[in-house]
Amino acid sequence: MGYKNAICVLPSDLLIAIQQHIDGEYIYIPRKADNKKQWGELKNSRHQLDKRNRAIFEEYLCGTAVEELAERYYLSPKTIYKILSAMKK
């Protein structure tokens, strides 16, 4: 996300109207719904987590204890249980 100077991108009448509500402060303008990207879409994070979760589930099915999985993957046992529950669905 980058910052742009409002003077350079907004019409002066719109800038004046915005200044009546928020003068000299930062404002976040969200993307339009059709331009939004899903979480993990840009950096492949979602794919990496799915791969990790499948590995955890397969190891669990082969008999690895939840506590051991938690230590191996640096997660809490509660998180391991959540992953297992989601993978069973």
Cα distance between residue 64 and residue 67, in whole Å: 9
Reported as a single tens digit per residue, the pLDDT across 37-52 is 766 666 778 889 999 9
Reported as a single tens digit per residue, the pLDDT across 8-48 is 999 999 999 999 999 888 888 888 887 777 666 667 788 89
Q: What is the pTM of this model?
A: 0.57
Domains of the chain: which residue ranges? 6-32+40-88
The identity of residue 58, as a single letter, is: E
Cα distance between residue 47 and residue 51, in whole Å: 6
